[in-house]
Amino acid sequence: MPSLPNNPNLDHFRRQAKSLLREAKSGDERALELVARPQSHAADPGLPTLAQAQFAVARGYGFSSWPQLKHYLDTAEVLRRDPTAAPAAPDTDPADAFCRLACLVYSEKDGPDRWAAARALLAEHPDLVTHSIAAAAAAADPDAIRRHLAADPRAATTEAGPHRWSPLMYLTYSRVGRSDEPAEGFLLSARLLLDAGADTNSGYLWLGLPTPFTVLTGVFGEGEQGPGRQPRHPHSLALARLLLAGGADPNDGQTLYNRMFRPDDSHLELLFEFGLGRGDGGPWKRRLGEAAETPTEMLARQLQWAIDHGFAERVDLMAGNDVDVRAPLADGRSPAQRAADAGRLDIAGIITRHGGEPPVVDDSAQLLDRLLTGGGAPDTDPGRAALTACRARWPDLIHRATTPDAVRRIATAGFDVDARHAGATALHQAAWNGDLALVRALLDVGADPGARDARFGGTPLGWAEHGYQEAARELLAAVTPNAN
């Protein structure tokens, strides 16, 4: 998938190409190598041209040609939205303010405090749902939606509100609803919009980046900020089923990304039921061209993540739904070999049962498998030597423990339980995820609750607080030095 900066624009890439051309003409070896790569139709192949430099720039961002890059940028200019941006002036309409507070925008602004503020604003101004269909949809108020549609039958298909989203987007990204509220109000609101012509594949490009945030993305929720700040819709499966039955394309790359971090597979089960992995990628693929992944590419990325993070049930689910477990992954290894090299012989076994080629398994893979999935470390001399080598090769192995038993085995084998990965400890990550079983197990084997991550200087307790993981916060508050 192309790797682009936020809010990409053509002028930026034109300047890059001109700069590369100047460097090539001045004799810079790296620039000359880039512009000399095959494609040129220049009359004099020895003289760098602007076309060559543009091609090199496009290829550097993952596009096959400059026209393909330009096509994407032209399309993205229309579809780009920045819901994280502050309004140019304070919202004077409470309906707009409500929409901003109510909906996920996929930044650190997301969180329960904003949705509580949205509910308070709605209680103070109950008539704000009459101001715009966007607010009525965000509030999932079917009566207000009916009135808006009666006044303007085109309202369901017209962008509205502060984010210039379709009304259906406000409904699926809103988090003012609660799971203890009946699902019918949300479903009825969605049906009214669908019956009025709402597009089940509507969406936008977040900061102009090439994976669309669709109505399904909003329903399924989660993402890098975690389930505390970016939870799924309180009735996500029922609402997603309604949208999929209404034509939403199940090949939703942003949904797959946002939900891949945790082992729950309910989203995948539903998406596979409606055709995930089949088809041509739907309207977004046709709209974005080669900037958008194909269904096969999406699932290959998901398979690799599941292998690397020990999600055996997910691998089994994907293989059982015709995901190709024989094709080489991005690094050239087969899925089974990547699993074996990671010490997940259970996953390698799942893959081979589904037709993957049996991997080559060495002593290190067998030892890793015992540590990660059971059996403990060997106590023979060769075993101790292998263990020493494993500790040197995988010093942060504790981060790959997915169960309390694995935590204990890895700790007993002498691995550092406070090893850093991306600047944080395994206890930080378990606290962020709200994984109480792993938090307890890590504390039991001596993980330091006072450790501070390299990026923010926060403790695991701070991570739990920031991620709104209340149970983990309470557990860590009792053991973190100077917590109060």
90-104, 116-130, 388-402, 470-484, range with greatest mean pLDDT: 116-130
Residues of the chain with CATH 1.25.40.20: 94-293, 362-484
Sequence-separated (6 or more) residues with CB below 8 Å from residue 439: 427, 430, 431, 460, 472, 475, 476
What does the alpha-carbon distance between residue 42 and residue 47 come to, in Å, rounded to a whole number? 8
Superfamily for the 362-484 domain: Ankyrin repeat-containing domain (1.25.40.20)
pLDDT digits (tens, 9 = 90+) for 208-217: 999 999 999 9
- Per the DSSP assignment, residues forming a β-bridge with 81 are 206
DSSP 387-428: HHHHHHH-TTGGGG--SHHHHHHHHHTT--TT--BTTB-HHH
What does the alpha-carbon distance between residue 36 and residue 438 come to, in Å, rounded to a whole number? 52
Q: Which amino acid is at 148?
A: H
- Per the DSSP assignment, residues forming a β-bridge with 408 are none
- Per the DSSP assignment, residues forming a β-bridge with 206 are 81
User: What separation in angstroms does the CA of 477 have from each of 99, 161, 450, 462, 483?
Assistant: 35, 41, 10, 9, 6
pLDDT digits (tens, 9 = 90+) for 299-353: 999 999 999 999 999 999 999 999 999 999 999 999 999 999 999 999 999 999 9
Residue 240 confidence class, pLDDT cut points 50, 70, 90 = very high
pTM, two decimal places = 0.90
Instruction: Report the CATH fold assignment for 94-293.
Output: 1.25.40
Q: Is the Cα dihedral 219, 225, 226, 228 positive or negative?
A: negative
User: What separation in angstroms does the CA of 154 have from each of 133, 151, 166, 354, 483?
Assistant: 11, 9, 11, 49, 55
- Per the DSSP assignment, residues forming a β-bridge with 421 are 424
35 and 58 in contact (C-beta within 8 Å)? no
pLDDT digits (tens, 9 = 90+) for 370-423: 999 986 555 555 577 878 888 888 999 999 999 999 999 999 999 999 999 999
pLDDT of residue 40: 46
What tokens were used for 412? 């007993």
User: What separation in angstroms does the CA of 294 have from each of 5, 211, 254, 256?
Assistant: 21, 11, 13, 13
Q: Can you tell me the mean pLDDT for 222-239?
A: 95
pLDDT digits (tens, 9 = 90+) for 106-143: 999 999 999 999 999 999 999 999 999 999 999 999 99
Residue with tokens 């409606």: 274
* Through-space distance between the first and last CA atoms of the chain, rounded to whole angstroms: 46
Q: What are phi and psi of 240, to 5 degrees?
A: -65, -40
CB atoms within 10 A of CB 148: 26
Residue 41 confidence class, pLDDT cut points 50, 70, 90 = very low
